[in-house]
Homo-oligomer: A and B are copies of this chain.
Amino acid sequence: MPDRSLPIGVFDSGVGGLTVLAALEAALPGERFLYLGDTARLPYGTKSPASVARYASQCAGALVARGIKLLVVACNTAASAALPALARQFPTLPVIGVVEPGAAAAVAATRSGHIAVIATEGTIRAGAYQAAIGALSSDVRVTALSGSLFVALAEEGWTEGPIVELAARRYLDAAFAQPLPPDTLLLGCTHFPVLGRALAGVLPAGVTLVDSAATTARAVAQLLAQRGLASPLAVGATHFLATDGPERFARVGSIFLGRPLLAAEVELVDV
């Protein structure tokens, strides 16, 4: 039985997973978090499944070596490519990805039974969301879209205005113009929630935007309670690790975390 006061490990290819961390911090204020951004090898979204699985194994290993009680894979591409392998590699460690919670949120939100999911090329090609939604409900139709430019727009901080709106129209319009269009858009990349307002502005009225941050945080809270692993602390804390460029991690990361982050708070590590 792991120590309840150990931190929860969270990793992502870079800064996108900070949207999930922000939801975790909000939902679980007494927990300690150890966040690792693999900025030396980002993005994962355009890499092959074999490379992503190797990177994920190394990130998880680095967090486990420092001591964690639960692992959150806060990167859709890594969760798509590596979740079963991570569960085998660390058989006693509870591991939660962002794909199943996101899929569950989308299935709960749709009324028409048609969900659109937009994610990186790697996540879409891996078919993880399509499979996770299919496992939850056999009569839900899924339209899968890849939107790699959204990652660069989010990292550049261009989260509103005509450029992101035009890009959103280019990625989304055809899907929402089809007969019996989707009524739910699942953001299948942790970078995308910061573009939420711009995306909502170009979607037809009545379409629900869903991301996996809040539902992942709820899934983590449930699992901690089930296993008796909830922190005994009144106030938590977060420690940040990055495999490259603490300064850029802090600057760009602030956009995703929703609060200022200083380079001095980010420890440079090799995994």
Contact = CB atoms under 8 A, between A and B. Distances in A.
Interface stretch (A74-82, A149-157, A220-228): A149-157
A166 B163 CA distance: 6
A211 interface: no
Copies in the assembly, this chain: 2
B156 A47 contact: no
Interface in A10-52: 39-42, 46-48, 51
A111 interface: no
Given A46-B248, A48-B244, A48-B245, A152 B163 contact: no
Contacts of A121: 248
Interface size class of A (residues with CB under 8 A): 20 to 34
A228 to B, nearest CB: 41
A158 interface: yes
A125 to B, nearest CB: 9
Contacts of A110: none
A62 interface: no
A162 to B, nearest CB: 6
A132 interface: no
A230 B156 CA distance: 44
A5 interface: no
Contact of A163 (B47, B163, B248): B163
B40 A51 contact: yes
Interface string A50-86: 0100000000000000000000000000000000000
Interface string A233-251: 0000000000011001000
Interface string A147-180: 0110111011010001100110010000000000
A156 B162 contact: no
Contact of A156 (B51, B149, B158, B244): B149
Contacts of A162: 166
- The 5 A-B pairs at the shortest CB distance, nearest first, are namely A152-B152, A48-B245, A163-B166, A48-B244, A149-B152
